[in-house]
Structure 1
Amino acid sequence: MTTGTDLHPLAQDYLDRLRMAARTLPGDDADDLVADITDHLRDALPPTPSEAEVRTVLDRLGTPQELVAAAGGPTTSPAAPRTREPRFGAVEVLALVGLVGAELLFIILPLAVLLWLAGIVLLAVSRVWSGRQKAWGLAALATGFPVVFSTLVVPASTGTTVCEGAAPAGAPDATTVSTCVTEGGWPDWAFTVVQVLLVAYLCVQVWTLWRLTRRR
């Protein structure tokens, strides 16, 4: 049998792939096919061919699989077993319900904390979402409960109201006038800024929910 060890590396690689593909041929047909193609390459290529010349000859021959099919082999290679792609299911639904529910039920602290922790765990173990999607979920959804709690509950609970009463001058029997001032709360401008940021944050959350629930 003629060998092609002195051929151009591209041609030799082509022959190696042809030998692999020709294993499906019966009897000595594989050896005959490889020998015929080796002789053809030796005759078609000059002694020191350029890479472009080799590629031109190989393109005219076709792929090794096409040559094997023309020689009586199978037209397609055996299909690889298909792996079942994970589908959006209960784990993903419960993860989103837990994270969003914790944010909506922030006033019920024990329940909100349980939902928040369960949502984070389910988000992390999901097989449907990629690492990047999980990172987005943690950044935009898992932070919802802490953000809402810290911006709405904590400032309201830390502020104190101080009232001072005084009667108008020259009217000892007049009704006392009380002036109440809330101390420790946020100023009006800061509260406005927080509201704007919360609206933008909510938009990011809606977009993240859409990204996580859309079909892959």
Structure 2
Amino acid sequence: MRFAGFILAAMLIALPARGESDRVVRVDFSNPGLYPAQWSLVLRPDGSGHFHAEGGTKPKDSEETIEPAKVDRDVTLSGDFTSHVFQTVHDKRILHGKCESHLKVAFQGLKKISYSGPDGEGGCEFNYSTDKEIQDLGETLVGVGSTLIEGARLELLLQHDPLGLDKAMQYIVEASDDGRLQQICAIRDILVRLQDDPHVMERVRKRARMLLARSGS
């Protein structure tokens, strides 16, 4: 009987943890004017997730630069950021499909944010939302996707065009300053490689160190 009671207690303790791990936010983004043209991010409450990007036609004006045609990898985002995402998804009207403003505004990319978990599921799709928190969340998540794509680009440049790293790193610093790129911690691995590589420009290594320091890595 004592053994059975122990098993029951262990199961009750495990239930909340398992329920937490079953909660998922998924973001799907598409914009035919970008390359890659579409991506998806699956995020769990602990900050772990998976990112996949591909599709589209490479712009003619970028033929001389290296761009990742496909990105597919596990990612880790910060705890504070992840908590904000899950809280906003729950607190706002995202779960009830009320996001799109239907206003005639410039196309910013189609963002679909969805949630699933033991407590329910739902989601919505929008180009632009008049709800500031939803609009800000969409822009921030797009910034995360852009960061992950830039990280993949740095890996390609390090392998095939080390001299191109200087301009790429300058862009990443500027874009992280103005918010176009978010969660620089998600590309920590390539930044560590760059700061430790004696064969790349010192300016590139310095910027990598600065970005790592900013991201708390």
Q: TM-score, normalised by structure 1?
A: 0.27
Which protein has the bigger helix share?
A: 1
Q: Which has the higher contact order (CA 8 A, sep 6+)?
A: 2
